[in-house]
Amino acid sequence: MDDRFNTAAGWVLFAGIIALGLSSISSRVFHAERPEKLGYPVEVAESAGGGGEMSIEEALSLASVEAGEAVFAKCAACHTVNQGGADGIGPNLWGIMGKPIGNHAPGFAYSSALAEKGGNWDWTNMSEWLKNPRGFANGTKMSFAGLSKIEDRAAIALYLNANGSNLPVPAYTAPEPAAEEGLDGAGEGPGAVSGAPVDAVEAAGAMGAEQPVAGAGTTAPVE
């Protein structure tokens, strides 16, 4: 009885030692620190277009005076645009394009921020002003929030230019699409060269091709 008990106890002890050893080994092999943030990082590729705003030149090529007149309705509460029109909260805008910034309407009380800005009302400056007046001239008295779409800004600039101004509209040339890398165009890339040595693969292909046969409508090669 004692022998059987001792044998059983020995096996139980041996099994415990084996289990403890395996537990220690597995904890060393498979141990990993818990990351601060769960999940896997995913890189998002930028869009091919870049999401950027089109240039003022491109916007002008898509805009029209008629569209600008419609958008100008947002400005009509403060500005007139006809020749000899009265100043309102803002100055009359007849002939403004190409004129000095903050100085085109004699007698109007411009803010010092705009009067001291410098430069002329060209297409780029007018677009930036209409986009964000306070960002263009910090301290301006104009409370208009701005136009986010460059198409609307370009249209208004064209409309203003048609009313007493004659500023040349910049031409726009669409960029040519980039050629795909690794692809040869027509007539490009390596081709057969007269007199160049022919390898075994090309020779085998040539031997397997149909050969011309002298006959009606054909001329036999002259040796």
Kindly report, residue by residue over 39-79, the tens digit of the pLDDT. Answer: 544 444 333 344 689 999 999 999 999 999 999 999 999 99
Residue 101 has pLDDT above 80, yes or no: yes
88 contacts 79 by C-beta, under 8 angstroms: yes
Rounded-to-10 torsion of CA 141, 124, 102, 91: -70
| Bridge partner list, 86 | none
- pLDDT averaged over every residue in the chain: 78
170 contacts 60 by C-beta, under 8 angstroms: yes
Domain 56-161 has CATH 1.10.760.10: yes
Share of residues in the chain with pLDDT > 70 (%):
58
Residue 201 neighbours by CB distance under 10 Å: 8
Kindly report, residue by residue over 168-221, the tens digit of the pLDDT. Answer: 999 999 888 876 665 555 555 555 555 556 565 555 555 555 555 555 544 444
Residue 60 neighbours by CB distance under 10 Å: 24
Q: What is the pLDDT of residue 221?
A: 44
